[in-house]
Amino acid sequence: MRRFGRLNSLWIAVLLMVACDDSGYQRSVPILPVRLVMNTYLEFTDFKETSFTDYVIVTRNGYFRKGKTTPVKPLLGDEACGYGGVLTYVTMNGYEAFDLACPYCAGRSKKCPCEIDGLFAVCPECGEQYDLSAGTAVPQKGLAREPMLKLNVMVSNGKITVTQRQ
C-alpha cells in the first residue's frame, strides 16, 4: 500500500511539472527590448517613491512626466521602450513599470497604448481598465484575460532603471 502511495505521488508530481510548463504560453503583448534610466538627481528630481500615483511615460518621442505634453528628455540611442511604450508608476510598494500596450487589443493585432486616469491605465480603443494601485495592472472590466506586461525596476544611487523581465 505504501509503495502504491509513493507511485501516485510521483505521477502527480510529473503531471504537475508537465501541466505547469509554460513553453506553449504566448503573451498577447510582444516581448520587445526595454532599457530606460531615469536619474532622480538630475531630470526627475521630484519623481520619488513617496509621490503616490505619480508617473513617467516613455515612448519613442521621449520621457513624459505626469500630465505634461513636452518631453523631459529624449529617448537615447541605447534605450528601448518596449511594444507600446513604458509606464513607470509610483505605488505604495515603490516604483512599478509596465508596457503600456493593452493586452486585449494587442491580442487582436492592435497596438493601443493605454492612457493614465488616476489609479487606472485605460485603453482608448476597447475601454479596458487596468488597476495600477497595487502594482499589478490587472484588468477590471473583464475584457482582457491577462494583466499589462510587468517590467523590472531597479533603484540604485538615485537612478531608476527599467528593463524587460527575463
59, 120 in Cβ contact below 8 A? no
6-19: average pLDDT:
44
Supply the pLDDT for residue 16: 44
pLDDT in tens, 51-94: 999 999 999 999 999 989 999 999 999 999 999 999 999 998 89
Task: Please tell me which residue, 22 or 125, carries the higher pLDDT value.
Answer: 125
In degrees, rounded to 5, the angle at the alpha carbon of residue 138 between the alpha carbons of residues 57 and 114 is 35
pLDDT-derived band of residue 27, with 50, 70 and 90 as boundaries? confident
Give per-residue pLDDT as tens, 95-142.
Answer: 999 999 999 999 888 888 999 999 999 999 999 999 999 899 999 999
Residue 25: is its pLDDT beyond 90? no
**Domain assignment of residue 149, given as a range:** 27-163
Question: Residue 19 pLDDT more than 50?
Answer: no
Least reliable range by pLDDT among 19-33, 34-48, 90-104: 19-33
Distance between CA 162 and CA 125 in Å, rounded?
A: 26
| 31 vs 19: which has the higher pLDDT | 31
Task: Report yes or no on 41 lying in a domain.
Answer: yes
Spell out the residues 6+ positions from residue 118 whose beta carbon is closer than 8 angstroms to its own: 53
**Overall number of domains in the chain:** 1
Q: What are the grid coordinates assigned to 108, written together?
A: 487582436
CATH number at residue 109: 2.102.10.10
Question: H-type helices in the chain, by residue range?
Answer: 2-19, 103-106
Sheet holding 86-91, edge to edge: 62-65, 55-59, 86-91, 94-99, 150-156, 159-163, 34-39, 80-81
Residues 163 and 99: beta-carbon distance below 8 Å: no
Residue 12 pLDDT greater than 60, yes or no? no
